[in-house]
Each structure stands twice: as C-alpha cells, then as structure tokens.
C-alpha cells in the first residue's frame, strides 16, 4: 500500500499516518521528521534546511526529492509507505512519479484532508500546549509567524497538487474536520477500495 496524505499543516496527517502505520505495518515517511532529524544531527542537509524550516518556508525540491528517493528504497518500505508532507509542490509530485515508475511501483491512493483554515491556528496552539505539558520540545516553526508562512506556502505551492492528482484520477478528498476516529474510518474505507 503506497499512500500520499495531503492537507495543510495541522490537518491531522501525522496522526492519521501513525494510525495507518499501526494498521498496515508500513512506515510513515514524514519529510518534516526526516529534515528535523537532519537538523538535529547537524548534517549538511540539516544545516542547509534549518533557517528555511524555522521561518516556515519550503526546503528545495532537489533536497526532499533525494531524501524520499533514498528512503523508499529501504527494506522497510518494500510493502509500502505513507507519505506525510511530501510531495508539497507540483515539481515534487512529478519527480516522485518518475521515481516510482523507475522503481516499477504504483501509487494506491492520494488522500486529502480538507480543513477550515480558521481551525488550524487553534490546532497548532493546542499542539504546542500539549507538548509543553508533556515536557517535550516545541517545534521551532510552531509559532504564529512561521505558522502563517507555512499556511501561505501551502496555499501557493501545495494546494495546486489537488488539481494535479484530480487530473490523474487519484485524488480522494475527506473531511479533516470530522472526529479523528471518523477520519481514520473514512481513510480505511478508501484504502479498502484502492
Ligand atoms: P512538516 O513537519 O511536514 O510540517 O514540515 C516541517 C517543515 O519541513 C516545512 O515547513 C518545510 O520547511 C520542511 N518540509 C517538510 N517537507 C517538505 C517538502 N516536501 N518540501 C519542502 N519542504 C518540506
């Protein structure tokens, strides 16, 4: 099962991807997590990406395309994967399709979680509060200014992916404002048909 989850920051992609990981035994590939790990490790990629990420901008297509191309060839991806946060631009989607074709792989579903933008800032603030309460480290880009920039980047560069995948006949749009369990059920139904 090879799945792309689309949706703005705070739409619940990460939460749903984790649930799919448990259900199907396939890994969640979050480019955000991979980039944060590169930043934490102080690798060259991390050093190049950090300032852009902190400000809520997008890391270059070349960097993320390479990260994903390498990652999906790892052994734990042999039965599939859930992409969370990639692709995020139409050129990334094109590069990913070429990459999949070259590997003889097929995408099973592209699922977009649709949410009201108004609700997203509140969700981000709740995530920050929960992280602080749990004694965790708050993401450098979970602040109102970077979050606004992330939303603007989504609108400008990522939202066009809906039309792209619609044209390819691969897009399914679900209500991301529904209860978390209802969203999980809806995704499950889509995947049963895929
Ligand atoms: P996320 O954890 O998905 O919210 O991603 C956090 C940040 O990592 C984003 O705001 C971007 O700076 C960067 N990032 C993650 N995935 C991508 C991607 N596919 N393309 C470009 N930048 C990305």
pLDDT(123) > 90: no
Does ligand 1 come within 6 angstroms of the Cβ of 50? no
Mean pLDDT within 35-40: 96
The predicted pLDDT at position 111 comes to 98
Give the model's confidence band at 37: pLDDT under 50 very low, under 70 low, under 90 confident, else very high.
Answer: very high
Does ligand 1 come within 6 angstroms of the Cβ of 68? no
Mean pLDDT within 183-194: 95
Say what percent of the chain tops pLDDT 90: 94
Distance CA 8, CA 51 (A): 21
For a pocket test of ligand 1, which of 58, 87, 120 has the largest count of ligand atoms closer than 8 A to its C-beta?
58
The predicted pLDDT at position 107 comes to 95
Does ligand 1 come within 6 angstroms of the Cβ of 151? no
Does ligand 1 come within 6 angstroms of the Cβ of 111? no
Contacts of 153 (CB under 8 A, 6+ apart): 56, 57, 58, 88
The predicted pLDDT at position 118 comes to 85
DSSP H stretches of helix in 8-113 = 13-24, 31-41, 44-54, 61-71, 90-102
The predicted pLDDT at position 6 comes to 98
Q: What is the pLDDT of residues 99-119, one digit of tens each?
A: 999 999 999 999 999 999 888
Give residue 47 CA to ligand 1 midpoint distance, Å. 14
Give the model's confidence band at 158: pLDDT under 50 very low, under 70 low, under 90 confident, else very high.
Answer: very high
Domain ranges of the chain: 2-193
Say what percent of the chain tops pLDDT 70: 100
Residue with the two structure tokens 């989850």: 5
The predicted pLDDT at position 125 comes to 92
Give residue 56 CA to ligand 1 midpoint distance, Å. 8
The predicted pLDDT at position 117 comes to 86
For the purposes of burial, counting CB atoms within 10 Å of the CB of 18, is it exposed (0-12), middle (13-18) or buried (19 or more)? Answer: middle
pLDDT(7) > 90: yes
Does ligand 1 come within 6 angstroms of the Cβ of 9? yes
Number of C-beta neighbours around residue 135 at 10 A: 6
Does ligand 1 come within 6 angstroms of the Cβ of 8? no
Give residue 85 CA to ligand 1 midpoint distance, Å. 6
* CATH architecture assigned to 2-193: 3-Layer(aba) Sandwich (3.40)
Average pLDDT, the chain: 95
Most confident range (mean pLDDT) of 26-35, 115-124, 136-145 is 26-35
| Closest C-alpha to ligand 1, atom 19 | 86
The predicted pLDDT at position 26 comes to 97
Q: Residue 87: is the preceding peptide bond cis (ω within 30°)?
A: yes
Q: What is the pLDDT of residues 53-98, one digit of tens each?
A: 999 999 999 999 999 999 999 999 999 999 999 999 999 999 999 9
Using the CB atoms, write b or e for 158-192: b if 16+ within 10 Å: beebbebbeeeeebbebebeeeeeebbebbeebbe
Phi then psi dihedrals of residue 171, to 5 deg: -90, 135
Number of C-beta neighbours around residue 121 at 10 A: 15
The predicted pLDDT at position 194 comes to 84
DSSP 3-state of 79: coil
Give residue 59 CA to ligand 1 midpoint distance, Å. 7
């Amino acid at each position: 099962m090879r799945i792309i989850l689309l949706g703005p920051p705070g739409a619940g992609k990460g939460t749903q991807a984790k649930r799919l990981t448990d259900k199907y035994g396939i890994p969640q590939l979050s480019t955000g997590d991979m980039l944060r790990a590169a930043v934490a490790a102080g690798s060259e990629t991390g050093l190049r990406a950090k300032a852009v990420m902190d400000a809520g901008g997008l890391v270059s297509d070349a960097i993320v395309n390479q990260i994903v191309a390498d990652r999906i060839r790892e052994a734990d991806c042999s039965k599939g994967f859930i992409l969370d946060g990639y692709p995020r631009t139409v050129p990334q989607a094109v590069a990913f399709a070429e990459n999949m074709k070259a590997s003889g792989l097929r995408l099973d579903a592209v699922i977009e979680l649709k949410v009201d933008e108004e609700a997203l800032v509140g969700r981000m603030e709740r995530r920050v509060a929960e992280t602080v309460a749990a004694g965790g480290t708050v993401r450098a880009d979970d602040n109102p200014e970077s979050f606004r920039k992330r939303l603007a980047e989504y609108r400008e560069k990522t939202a066009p992916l809906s039309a792209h995948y619609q044209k390819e006949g691969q897009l399914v749009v679900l209500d991301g404002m529904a209860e978390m369990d209802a969203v999980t059920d809806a995704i499950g139904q889509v995947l049963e048909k895929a």
